[in-house]
Amino acid sequence: MKNGVLTFSSMPSLYSTGVTAGPLEKKKSVFAEQFDKAYEDERCDLSTNEHGHKQLMYDAVMIALSKEKKTIDKIDFFLTGDLVNQMTPSNFTAHELGIPYIGMFAACATSVSSMITAALLADAEQARWLIAGSSSQHNAIERQFRYPLAYGSQKGATAQWTVTAAGAVLIGQHKEGNPSICCATVGKVVDMGMTDPLNMGAAMAPAAMETLSCHLKGHKKTIDDYDTIITGDLGSNGFKIFKALANENGLSHTKNFRDAGEEFYGNDPSFNAGASGSGCSAAVFLSDVYNKLQKREYKRVLLIATGALLSPLTYQQGDSIPCIAHAIEVTMDGVSVY
Amino acid sequence: MEQEKYAHLEKELSPKTPILKNVIKAFLVGGSICLTGQCIALFYITYFDFTERTASNPTVATMIFISMLLTGFGLYKKISQFGGAGASVPITGFGNAVVSSAIEHKSEGYVLGVGGNMFKLAGSVILFGVFSAFIVALIKTILVKFGVVSW
Amino acid sequence: MISIYITSFIVGGLICVIGQLLMDVAKLTPAHTLCSLVVAGSILDGFGLYEPLIDFAGAGATIPITSFGNALTHGALAEAEKHGLIGVVTGMFEVTSSGISAAIIFGLIGALLFTSKGNV
């Protein structure tokens, strides 16, 4: 039984990335220097938040393409998603790009699920060039899932801040010297009965642990095979719980663990437990981690994006929060397994 | 890991709500807002033809006006993050709920957006306020009719 | 004259403390908390206890959302005293119109003047 475990024998490579962000991220994110483009206006000078959201993703794609001097007509598939109802910002981006489009929803785990699907298409030789990625826009998502922006509600220490950011990556056939995708694990939905939407980290940590265990077991690897194992947006609280779960599951240490959500805004307490959103993992994986791979500071990494699969309706109906985590392994070594 | 064991682990590791600190902050912010209301009521009593009883009407309207300005400039949510219930319990919190919903849904137009969504957050307060008043008044009126209590 | 300022601060603060405890200890959402307080204000007026609180604490009792429940009940009872059972329905908004009207009017004015911003 595969149990979600995938190996890509042809090792599709990452060719270039495009990361865009909003004004708050430009000002407050520790990764701001590594973003390709940051806007002064949170709506990207357009009329609504949703339109701005679309612009973030569109620009991220165009930046990734321009770095490799590729034109849109060369791209075979566009795989992306976001958190807005019916993923309309991604849909409108796909319309503007005119590339065959597969909309992907895995909440904040979309960055990795889109990369896994892109790698599958490339490995099956069904595509030469693909764009994968995900995005989020704070205003659009806050109003949909929580409260109007100007509403006064007291957020606790476990609440996270949805980032305004988009990340897109150009994936193609294997190229020596490029970061390449060797294997992945598709996660299962895990629900440990957590019900507080203002404590997503605690809901998502078990899903991350489940996927990490499946990945290590399925690919016969240990945590020391990686320079870093970085999760998407568990936040400071979820990350603490994830590391405790790792200890409970017999992993010897968590020294090389990172979490994009916890690091995104540094130690700024105004963001409570840190960053979240489908743009968070995409922005950090495709800027900081990608740059470190290219500079060979990292040689092999495991990216685990986590997502909470709830809606405002499920919360009102008293349901708990089901979560999922997808993992993808990217390496500078030319080999898939040793 | 079973759900019960995980719930236990999560409770141990997640930060505890600072209840005492929140209560003190709520007391200070709530008290200040009410004190502001009292000063405004005094203003209406002194300079206009209002008594201590009837001054509450223009006072409430003025407080909601102030709440609109603070909400629009993004300041009410900062007061609320600090004061918690001290900012949401006063009538200014009700004003904030209505005004913030109205501002947020401007992008969908004034009829469908603003009109259709304005009471998204405050509607339950109005519903339960009206319904409980109905039940309480009904019970009391019936009791008075049967001579059990007097007005 | 001085003491009304002290009592309004303290009573207003204490009602907010009750709200904070409902949110932090009973883990109610803000909406559930406010509904509970409104109903409490309504019931207190049914027992004739809220008006004396207003006399004692002034704005400390009229500004919290509990006074909304009180005002609705008070209006209903006043009208019922005059016109019988039908007054329960017809009298409610007579005393509370300033709060609701102000919220609606300033809500629209706010939407005309302001745009929502995602600042932290």
**In the prediction, which pLDDT does B62 show?**
96
Q: Judge whether A216 and A225 are in contact, CB under 8 Å.
A: no
Residue with tokens 């495991």: A302
**In the prediction, which pLDDT does A77 show?**
98
Question: Could you tell me whether strands A13-21 and A165-172 are parallel, antiparallel, or unpaired per DSSP bridges?
Answer: antiparallel
A37 has a chain C CB within 8 A of its CB: no
**In the prediction, which pLDDT does A338 show?**
46
Per the prediction, chain B carries an average pLDDT of: 95
Question: How many degrees, rounded to 5, is the angle at CA B5 between CA B1 and CA B9?
Answer: 105
**Inter-chain touch B9–A241, beta carbons under 8 Å:** yes
A258/A251 Cα distance (integer angstroms): 15
| Residue A271 neighbours by CB distance under 10 Å | 25
Which residues in chain A have Cβ-Cβ distances shorter than 8 Å to B14? Answer: 158, 199, 202, 237, 241
Q: Judge whether A307 and A325 are in contact, CB under 8 Å.
A: yes
In a 10 Å sphere around its CB, with 0-12 CB exposed, 13-18 middle and 19+ buried, how is residue B126 labelled?
buried
Interface test with A, best of B77, B80, B92 (most A CBs within 10 A): B77
DSSP bridge partners of A101: A78
Total H helices, total E strands in chain A: 11, 14
**Inter-chain touch B100–C116, beta carbons under 8 Å:** yes
**In the prediction, which pLDDT does C2 show?**
59
B136/C73 Cα distance (integer angstroms): 7
Q: Judge whether A34 and A291 are in contact, CB under 8 Å.
A: yes
Q: pLDDT by residue (tens digit) across B22-43?
A: 999 999 999 999 999 999 999 9
**Inter-chain touch C102–B60, beta carbons under 8 Å:** yes
Q: How far away is chain C from the Cα of A148, in angstroms, using its nearest Cα?
A: 8
Q: Judge whether A109 and A187 are in contact, CB under 8 Å.
A: yes
- pLDDT tier, C1 (very low <50, low <70, confident <90, very high otherwise): low
| Residue B21: half-sphere exposure toward Cβ, Cα within 13 Å | 7
Nearest residue on chain B to A240, judged by CA atoms?
A: B13
Q: Judge whether B37 and C63 are in contact, CB under 8 Å.
A: yes
Nearest residue on chain B to A192, judged by CA atoms?
A: B3
Residue with tokens 């009180």: C70
Q: The tokens of C79 are what?
A: 């009208």
Q: pLDDT by residue (tens digit) across B58-75?
A: 999 999 999 999 999 999
C101/B62 Cα distance (integer angstroms): 12
Total H helices, total E strands in chain C: 7, 0
- The model's pTM: 0.94
- pLDDT beneath 50: ranges in chain A: 338
The residue ranges of every structural domain in chain C are: 2-113
Q: pLDDT by residue (tens digit) across A52-74?
A: 999 999 999 999 999 999 999 99
DSSP bridge partners of C64: B90
B100 has a chain A CB within 8 A of its CB: yes
- Backbone φ and ψ for A33, nearest 5 degrees, come out as -60, -25
Q: How far away is chain C from the Cα of A126, in angstroms, using its nearest Cα?
A: 42
User: How much is the ipTM here?
Assistant: 0.94
**DSSP at A108:** B
Nearest residue on chain A to C29, judged by CA atoms?
A: A153
Residue B55 above 80 pLDDT?
yes
SS (H, E, C) A148-210: CCCCCCCCCCCCCEECCEEEEEEEECCCCCCCEEEEEECCCCECCCCCCCCCHHHHHHHHHHH
Q: Which residues contact C96 (CB under 8 A, 6 or more apart)?
A: C68, C71, C72, C75
Nearest to A161 by CA among A182, A137, A134: A137
Q: pLDDT by residue (tens digit) across A212-232?
A: 999 999 999 999 999 999 999
Nearest to B93 by CA among B105, C27, C7, B101: B101
**Inter-chain touch B98–C103, beta carbons under 8 Å:** yes
